[in-house]
Structure 1
Amino acid sequence: MLQLHVWGPAFSLPSIDAQCLATIAYCALALPAGSWELVASSDPSVSPTNELPSLRNGSVWVSRFRNIVDYLRQYSDGAWNLDVELGGQELADSVAFTSFVESRGQPLVDLSLYVTSQNYYSDTSPAYGSLLQWPNQWILPPKLHSAAKARTIQLGLSSLDLKAMEDARQREHSAAVAAGQIPKNLIQRPRETVSGLLGRTAQQNQFRLEALTAEFFEPLEAMLGRKAYLLAPDEEDRPTSLDCIALGYLSLALVPELSFPWLRDAMRTKAPRLAAYTERMRGRCFGSTATSIENAFAPSTSASPLPWRAPERISAAAVGTTLLNTLADSTPFLREVRQHNRLKRVAESPDAGFSEQESKAISQHAEASKMDMYVSIATVVGGLAALVGYVVHTGLISWESEEAEEEESAGTEELSFQASDFLGI
């Protein structure tokens, strides 16, 4: 029995992650009933690659949508291949548009669900809190939030993060007060309202968001045209892997009911046929009813077209491991070592998608970087030891004990007393 481990349900969808949604859609379309189970583990550490989605077949683990698709094709000798009827040019188009969807869709999903403050704190963070177990519900959301902000920083839309903007303004104000640059009668300024910030940031971001959403939705809308699926001939009922990856990102753009639904509004305005296609694909792959947390955590008590299996409760050992890993990732030296080890492990993984030369080069780079860090640390420690030794040798630091100091002080007082008697003072 194949097991597909994913991030759990949110926003009426089977998963909160686009890659997980794409993989669920592919398995629902390609795999026969009874051959697979869907587990909302919502814990990347269950996979050796520390990634979700991850497909488990006995002792074999395969992560990422494209790797899972390739593995299923090879494992079934082509029987579980949605792209089996595509020709050479169509396969090339599928690869190109898959890359397009992932590269353009992920930043928009990041901006909508994580960077936009109203959506993250009101909708996304509570969604993670309902599907994660302790302590991951306190550890993983901030990590995912930071990762999404890092992935989108080059887009110049960080002003969508109103909380970060307000925190920065407060720090600047406090620094100016401390430096005496603000008169006392202006120190107690009223806190700026979120609505005021939102009004200005909406104007600042409007043109950039318009361009980003148009660059993503309009090519897909044109590609779809009047067809039922993206690569299918007119009116032919033949979805492919491209339809699955598109569903993963488009459903997270269209379906969630967010506090600031700018991405959904842009999709409905710019690509109405694409929105209808997304709803149709969603019903075919995930079912006509909304997915809830109960579907994943208590599948025996809820009806769902997907083969859910309840995830295992986290053990005490797993809790301890998670806390230790979090502590290690918060320690600068250990964090660097773990990052290099993870990079080397991923490079050497057979499902990483690298050639032998690329895998060897990345692995050597990770090992060399780790050794350089060890040498740097050893150099700093050696320099500090030499400095302490020099200071002690020159007498700038005395290692005499307190008792020796007291004895020396007592001897000085006695000598002073004897000298006074001798002089008759």
Structure 2
Amino acid sequence: MVLELHVWGPAFGLPSIDPQCLATIAYFALAVPAKRAGSGGDGGREEEWVLVADSDPGKVPTNELPALWTGTRWISRFRNIVQYLCQYSGNEWNLDRWMGKRERADCIAFSSFLESHGQPLVDLSLYVSSENYNSATAPAFASLLQWPNQWIIPPQLRDAAKKRTDYLGLSSLDLDAMEEEERQKSRDPTSAVGQIPKSLLRRPPPTVSGLLGKTAQQNRIRLEGTTAAFVAPLEELLGRKGFLLADEIPSSLDCLALGYLSLAVVPELKYSWLRDAIQSQSARLATYVDRLRKRCFGAERVDVGMAFCENEQQQRQQSSLPWRVPERMSAGSMGLRVLEGVADSLPIVKELRASQRLQRRGEETAAGEEQELVAAVAKAQRREVYTSIVTVLAGIGLFVSYLLHSGVVTIGVPVEQEEDENEQQTEEEREEESPSERQSQTQSHLGAAGAILGI
């Protein structure tokens, strides 16, 4: 059986644009042999695993990458994949099997530290920053994704990154939102700016470059402080060793560190505050990332074409990673992605789908306490969604009942239909009258008309 590792595709000279995917690729490169004895065409050996850069999380039940296809089921997220590899290989592919209690405790603690502190920095650098997103991140996704994902997925990823970094108070990096906010303030008649006549406004309207120059100095101090809080513990842990926990033996912690630090150091961005801060604060850590990147991903920069090269021999000459060309998306899959994008844009439906994915993620987790915790969170989310639905329906019912009670809306026969029925009833009554009655009524009407006209 060949294991298929599905990831977000290459970008910035790295084999993936996502830190968790990079960490998983690094773990495979260090722990899993590229070939095994068998009936393959390459000297009687066949691949143990392949790397598929389909960049399509819609294939996975949890809707997230990286994901490992075992031939029977999907396994997503770095920790779950590592645990499966250890069980599948009988602990042979376990990079952490040499650890004692102290090293294992450090591995768990610093793994959580990397995910909780490294992800916000990557989010700010690649997604929240308008300059970096528009000039580097969005074009990178455009070269990876097929239609319609190239229009649906990048905005979703950016919105998620903004939500994850709200607590840092650095939303001013998003110059697009700042510029739109300034426009709304200038159009708002209740604001002070909106009440000043245009003839008295001497300063020109704010521009993107002006906003950047105004906020860059304010953000720089906070960004450097946030980066220092992330770099200092890792630099202290690394010390003079070759790896984070040992001098000569890499671990799963090194793979996770490579995933986040490589996206901080390697990309050449227009606003490279994160790379500059890491290189100035810890040159040793930057050197460690470069050395480990070459060992796991190869000395040459990974090009997008390597992941989609159909010539296997040429692909093997270009890259040390076992790339496999992803399948083209069918017309049915395209339609399904469009429907899923529409569903995720609806508030209540979006929350229901998110809780379902979280529940599937909990089912994948092998650890008992973590699985129970994820299941409890998913259940609480579903309860909140159902409460919102009941509240909305109750509000609509009260509003409709108020309209009926106040007479604004009536339930009955429409006015036009009622008038038609009245006219039909009058004609029937006229037909039922006798000829003498109709003649007397006609004479009385003529007599009244003559009196009015004076005849």
TM-score, normalised with respect to structure 1: 0.90
Q: Which residues of 2 match residues 187-336 of structure 1 at below 5 A?
A: 190-233=204-247, 237-298=248-309, 300=311, 301-302=314-315, 303-336=318-351
Hey, what does 1:124 align to over in structure 2? 137
Larger CA deviation: 294-303 vs 60-69 = 294-303
Map Cα deviations across residues 285-312 of structure 1 (whole Å, 9 max, x no partner). Answer: 0000010111111152432100000111
Q: Aligned match of 1:151 in 164, 175, 192?
A: 164
Hey, what does 2:452 align to over in structure 1? 424
Name the amino acid aligned to 2:224: E
* In structure 1, C-alpha distance between the alignment counterparts of 2:4 and 2:124, rounded to whole Å: 31
Does residue 115 (structure 1) correspond to residue 128 (structure 2)? The answer is yes
Hey, what does 1:415 align to over in structure 2? none
Contact 1:2 1:36 in 2 (8 A): yes
Contact 1:6 1:54 in 2 (8 A): yes
Contact 2:348 2:385 in 1 (8 A): no
* In structure 1, C-alpha distance between the alignment counterparts of 2:295 and 2:409, rounded to whole Å: 82
What is the deviation of 1:174? 1.2
Closer, same or farther: CA 44–277 of 1 in aligned 2, 3 Å: same
Closer, same or farther: CA 55–158 of 1 in aligned 2, 3 Å: same
Hey, what does 1:8 align to over in structure 2? 9
Contact 2:352 2:382 in 1 (8 A): no
Q: Aligned match of 1:184 in 182, 198, 208?
A: 198
Does residue 68 (structure 1) correspond to residue 81 (structure 2)? The answer is yes
Q: Aligned match of 2:416 in 374, 379, 402?
A: 402
Hey, what does 1:24 align to over in structure 2? 25
* In structure 2, C-alpha distance between the alignment counterparts of 1:213 and 1:335, rounded to whole Å: 33
Name the amino acid aligned to 2:217: Q
Closer, same or farther: CA 397–182 of 1 in aligned 2, 3 Å: farther
Q: Aligned match of 1:82 in 95, 114, 137?
A: 95
* In structure 2, C-alpha distance between the alignment counterparts of 1:88 and 1:346, rounded to whole Å: 28
Name the amino acid aligned to 2:104: L
Name the amino acid aligned to 2:301: A
* In structure 2, C-alpha distance between the alignment counterparts of 1:185 and 1:397, rounded to whole Å: 56
* In structure 2, C-alpha distance between the alignment counterparts of 1:380 and 1:66, rounded to whole Å: 44
Paired residue secondary structure (2:328)? coil
What is the deviation of 1:74? 1.1
Figure out how many residues of one structure are paired with residues of the other and give that number. Answer: 417
Name the amino acid aligned to 1:136: N
Contact 2:359 2:375 in 1 (8 A): no
What is the deviation of 1:160? 1.0
Paired residue secondary structure (1:176)? coil
**What is the RMSD of the two structures over their aligned residues, measured on CA atoms?**
2.9
What is the deviation of 1:195? 2.5
Name the amino acid aligned to 1:269: S
Contact 1:391 1:397 in 2 (8 A): no
Paired residue secondary structure (1:195)? helix
What is the deviation of 1:370? 4.2
Name the amino acid aligned to 1:320: G
* In structure 2, C-alpha distance between the alignment counterparts of 1:256 and 1:99, rounded to whole Å: 24
Closer, same or farther: CA 359–65 of 1 in aligned 2, 3 Å: closer
Identity of aligned residues (%): 53
Closer, same or farther: CA 390–177 of 1 in aligned 2, 3 Å: closer
Paired residue secondary structure (1:4)? strand
What is the deviation of 1:55? 1.0
* In structure 1, C-alpha distance between the alignment counterparts of 2:182 and 2:232, rounded to whole Å: 37
Contact 2:50 2:324 in 1 (8 A): yes
Name the amino acid aligned to 1:362: V
What is the deviation of 1:209? 1.1
Does residue 338 (structure 1) correspond to residue 366 (structure 2)? The answer is no
* In structure 2, C-alpha distance between the alignment counterparts of 1:25 and 1:356, rounded to whole Å: 26
* In structure 2, C-alpha distance between the alignment counterparts of 1:404 and 1:79, rounded to whole Å: 85
Map Cα deviations across residues 60-89 of structure 1 (whole Å, 9 max, x no partner). Answer: 211111111111111111100111111110
Closer, same or farther: CA 353–36 of 1 in aligned 2, 3 Å: farther
What is the deviation of 1:15? 0.3
Structure 2: gaps spanning 5 or more residues: 35-46, 427-444
* In structure 2, C-alpha distance between the alignment counterparts of 1:200 and 1:178, rounded to whole Å: 21
What is the deviation of 1:148? 0.6
Contact 1:299 1:308 in 2 (8 A): no
What is the deviation of 1:7? 0.4
Larger CA deviation: 336-345 vs 200-209 = 336-345
Structure 1: gaps spanning 5 or more residues: 412-417
Hey, what does 2:432 align to over in structure 1? none
Closer, same or farther: CA 288–357 of 1 in aligned 2, 3 Å: closer
Paired residue secondary structure (1:59)? coil
Closer, same or farther: CA 405–422 of 1 in aligned 2, 3 Å: farther
Does residue 365 (structure 1) correspond to residue 391 (structure 2)? The answer is no
Contact 1:340 1:369 in 2 (8 A): no
Q: Which residues of 2 match residues 377-396 of structure 1 at below 5 A?
A: 377-391=392-406
* In structure 2, C-alpha distance between the alignment counterparts of 1:352 and 1:391, rounded to whole Å: 59
Larger CA deviation: 15-24 vs 394-403 = 394-403
Map Cα deviations across residues 217-274 of structure 1 (whole Å, 9 max, x no partner). Answer: 12212221221111113xxx21111110000011001100101111111111001011
* In structure 1, C-alpha distance between the alignment counterparts of 2:161 and 2:343, rounded to whole Å: 22
Paired residue secondary structure (2:188)? helix
Closer, same or farther: CA 372–67 of 1 in aligned 2, 3 Å: same
